Amino acid sequence: MRGSRWIRLVLCGFVAGVVWNVLSAVFLYLFAPGFVASVQRSAPYSRWGGEFFFGVDVVMGIWAMWLYSAIAPRYGAGPTTAAIAGVACWTIKGLQSAKWAGLGLVPPGSVLVVLAATSLVAVLGASVVGGWLYDKVHRPAAQGLPG
């Protein structure tokens, strides 16, 4: 990949990460207030807690767009392929998040049901938005036009 394509990938991934972060926050507060309260009781947010979670979601968005760009030539560009990339990221992040329940910091039901469902919807939305944007900014270059 040329340098300009990496920049586009990172920018589209950043957008996907922001979407992921916003959707996750909204869904958690709407559908899992018990989970949010449990996390706040068990591990009070540090001064940088919000920034840390935002940063993780941005990195996950960049990773999702990298994965999307890697599998799009085989599966075809579009929302289905973006969703496949999102589910792959969700699986890895979900397994990592399940450790919270194993440590006893959150009730297992919250992690396994509510958290998994809300994060799946958030990652699907984020990866489809990021993939759409990635396709939009790469289309001129793919057609041989200046991009």
pLDDT at 113: 76
pLDDT at 145: 44
Place of tokens 């999102």: 86
Place of tokens 């979601």: 57
As separate numbers, helices (DSSP H) first and strands (DSSP E) second, the chain gives: 7, 0
pLDDT at 18: 96
pLDDT at 126: 96
Q: Are 37 and 120 in contact (CB under 8 A)?
A: no
Q: What is the pTM of this model?
A: 0.81
CA pair distance 50, 137, nearest whole angstrom: 30
Average pLDDT of the chain is 83
pLDDT at 129: 97
What residues in the chain have per-residue pLDDT under 70? 1-2, 39, 42-49, 105-107, 109-112, 138-147
pLDDT in tens, 121-134: 999 999 999 999 99
